[in-house]
Amino acid sequence: MPELDEDQLLHVSLGPQHPSTHGVFRMNVLLDGETVVSLKPVFGYLHRNHEKIAEGITYLSSMPFTDRLDYICPLTNNWAYAQAVEKLAGIEVPERAEYIRVITAELTRLINHSAFVGFFLGDMGAWGSALMYAFREREKILDLFEDLTGARMMSNYMRFGGCRNDLPDGWAAKASVLVNEFPRFLDELENLVTGNEILIARTQNIGALPKEALINGGITGPMLRAAGVAYDIRKVEPYGIYDRFKFRIPLGTTGDCYDRLMIRLLELRESLAILRQALDQLPEGAYIHPKAKIRNFKPPVGEAYARIESPKGELGFYLISDGSAKPFRYRIRPPSFINLTLLEDMCLGLDLADVVLILGSIDIVLGEVDR
């Protein structure tokens, strides 16, 4: 490779206000012609020090703030936090609540992955159409969430030891209808996407890294599975009641942007399979443990790290209790933030236009990156 002439390099600041950056995210890119020579992400524009705030308030008061981390998937955030506190305090969760949690989490995954496809096509220049199809379906799921939690997005629904309220009358039937109709949308979406010549030309052989590098870089979730690593926390370390359901883990081969897109499309089908089983088996019973404490809740001294497979990867909460009503240490392990670690490695030597696609394929939400 010939020596780079520093005077010929072009410094481009992509963002923080840029349609391709999924929020206020900035990349300092150094270009040699069209080729990326260096890329340094800059973020923190949405930083509100959620962890510090949470250490000054009671455990339950942080629950609504977790909605605002990854605001596409508030219910999985709720679950991750509730699970960590349950581990910290040794709280049991009744069976019905576990089912409700699985159902809401998988519906959330449907939202996230279909919206991902829309956003990703938007990054490629197909702005609007695919996203509108995805949002049409998302709206139906959000209606279900509104019936259940009272809010379309900021649900604040999980509690330590269960959920805030039971399913409303007829909710499970409505959810079943949605689950049965969803494959039609998926067929439509896959028809639009998978065989598309431009999409294949733009996404194949872009952004791939070896498996070992991805694991070493802490990449989790669909990104890792696209490279062929069968690592899904729902299977590896079944939390809740995931060991009761039959579902498969779709795996990619190369880990390029095309695989990452396809993994999400395939995971949608598996989520539907889980939803069908969960809605069939949904038992009667309590939706929250009768002894769960809402007021004056003080977990015993100790610490706990708990994680779930959120739609974006491993979402973990690390809590230290000093026996008081407020957490001594409250830490979020944000998948979006850590999945960005290898962004530069993926982009080096590629064109600037590919950077936008690779960033899109990581699937970040800045509310979670910046916290």
Partner 1 sequence: MTPDLPAIFTRLRAELPAATLAHLRNPGPSGQDSLLVAPACLVAVCQFLHDSADLDFDLLSNVTGVDWPDPALTDAVALPAEGSAAAVGGFLEVVYHLYSTSRRVGPLVLRARSVDRAEQVHIPSVVAVYRSAEYQEREIFDLFGVKFTGHPDLRRILMWDEFLDHPMRKDYLAPDDYQYEPTPHDAVLEKAKQHYTATSES
Residue choice 152, 303, 326, 353 for contact with partner 1 (CB under 8 A): 303
161 touches partner 1 (CB under 8 A):
no
d(CA 45, CA 23): 9
Residue choice 318, 327, 346, 368 for contact with partner 1 (CB under 8 A): 318
Segment near partner 1 (CB under 8 A); pick from 28-36, 146-154, 252-260, 325-333? 325-333
Segment near partner 1 (CB under 8 A); pick from 17-25, 84-92, 256-264, 347-355? 84-92
Give the chain's end-to-end CA distance (angstroms, integer).
40
338 touches partner 1 (CB under 8 A):
yes
Nearer to partner 1 by Cβ, of 140 and 331: the residue is 331
Nearer to partner 1 by Cβ, of 137 and 314: the residue is 314
> Are β-strands 10-14 and 26-32 bridged in parallel, bridged antiparallel, or unpaired?
antiparallel
4 touches partner 1 (CB under 8 A):
no
Q: Where is 177: in which H helix or E strand? A: helix 171-193
User: Which string of x and - marks every residue 239-268 that binds partner 1 (by CB under 8 A)?
Assistant: ------------------------------
317 forms beta bridges with 306, 332
77 touches partner 1 (CB under 8 A):
no
Q: Where is 162: in which H helix or E strand? A: strand 162-163
- Hey, is 250 helix, strand or coil? coil
Q: Where is 38: in which H helix or E strand? A: strand 35-42
The amino acid sitting at 106 is E
d(CA 56, CA 328): 9
CA 221 to chain centre: 8
Cβ-contact 48, 371 below 8 angstroms: yes
314 touches partner 1 (CB under 8 A):
yes
127 touches partner 1 (CB under 8 A):
no
Segment near partner 1 (CB under 8 A); pick from 81-89, 187-195, 251-259, 270-278? 81-89
The amino acid sitting at 342 is L
User: Which string of x and - marks every residue 189-228 that binds partner 1 (by CB under 8 A)?
Assistant: -----------------------xx-xxxxxx--------
Please state the closest distance from residue 67 (CB atom) to partner 1, in A: 20
Residue choice 14, 29, 60, 88 for contact with partner 1 (CB under 8 A): 88
d(CA 147, CA 28): 44
User: Radius of gyration over alpha carbons of the chain, in Å?
Assistant: 21
371 touches partner 1 (CB under 8 A):
yes
- Hey, is 321 helix, strand or coil? strand
Which residues would be at the binding site for partner 1 (CB under 8 A)? Answer: 43-44, 47, 49, 51-52, 87-90, 212-213, 215-220, 229, 231, 236-237, 299-307, 314, 316, 318, 320-323, 328-329, 331, 333, 337-338, 340-342, 370-371
